[in-house]
Structure 1
């Protein structure tokens, strides 16, 4: 089984397990008459936008970008989340939190662009990592 397929199966199993775990909550809400379809729709939308869409985008983009470039782009995700939180929700990070984000991005960039980090792994190395 390819690594991407295994990761997809794992994510599907985890999502299914969480859905089953929330069934008792749904039953309680229905019994008490507190079930709200609008709130459920908003939760489903948040779920899609926060997990499904980014994961699917990563899977598609990884097929078209070299791993080194994908690694750098992926390290920007926390920065984009922080900027989104600031722009959309008015959440402010402290200077030390911004520095921590920049250190993470810089470390990833240096790891990917270093002579040993930038080396492209061949299929045998990749298969061995997932065995």
Structure 2
């Protein structure tokens, strides 16, 4: 299932796509593209539309995210808060070097669990 951001700039897509998977009971959002102030609200709506109260774990896979701004990180923080209840888990994985720089510079890595890969995250989620 893909959710596509409708905001496009001319022929060059400056938006994002999200592919959803469930692996071993973990809801995984595989995000492609850019998340910035122009589309962060839409990104949040797309995530919230897919999540339901039965979901115990959410993983945001950023392997194909080319850029994220503080507005995009704010959405990640909102999702993390929704999964803060006992028995729930949240994390992000597979950050590119440029995205990792933004995450670290913002201190986001001190607040949110970050995993090197989807497999590493799934392994850690299953331990808990």
Q: TM-score, normalised by structure 2?
A: 0.25
Structure in which a larger fraction of residues adopt strand: 2
Higher-helix-fraction structure: 1
Q: Highest CA radius of gyration, 1 or 2?
A: 1
TM-score with structure 1 setting the length = 0.24
